[in-house]
Amino acid sequence: MTGLPPKATVLGSGAGALTIAAELGLAGVEVTLADFPQFGRTLEVVAGVGGVRVDCDWHGRAVAPIAITSTNPAAVVRGAPLVVISVPSFSHRVFAEMLASVLEAGQIVLW
């Protein structure tokens, strides 16, 4: 893969996932951000703002666009050329089991 894909799905809703999603969005990638329903509140905030608010020296103050938010990670992984999982280690097994049945040949997964 050269360069960035046109679309990516980021799984998780903590600081790491939000940072990854923001950087991809600011780079022009159409980002889907997803997590399980128990973490839906963060996704609601992102959807309400239209993205992830950033405030840093290199980006200044901006809202990094997030195209889609979802509390159904399995559904939004299908067809994504790049899937990035940024969750705590105690959640790895749950995400791995969910992903095992939905990942497709050719998808790039970054854990």
Positive or negative torsion for Cα 23, 102, 69, 95: negative
Question: In the chain, which ranges are E strands?
Answer: 7-11, 30-34, 51-56, 60-65, 68-70, 82-85, 108-110
pLDDT, tens digit, 9 for 90 and up, residues 36-89: 999 999 999 999 999 999 999 988 999 999 999 999 999 999 999 999 999 999
CB 28 within 8 A of CB 22: no
Q: Quote the pLDDT of residue 1.
A: 45
Q: For residue 10, what are the β-bridge partners?
A: 33, 84
**Tokens 């600011």 label which residue?**
26
CB 74 within 8 A of CB 102: yes
Confidence bin at 2 (pLDDT 50/70/90): low
**Tokens 């959807």 label which residue?**
47
Q: Quote the pLDDT of residue 59.
A: 86
CB 71 within 8 A of CB 36: yes
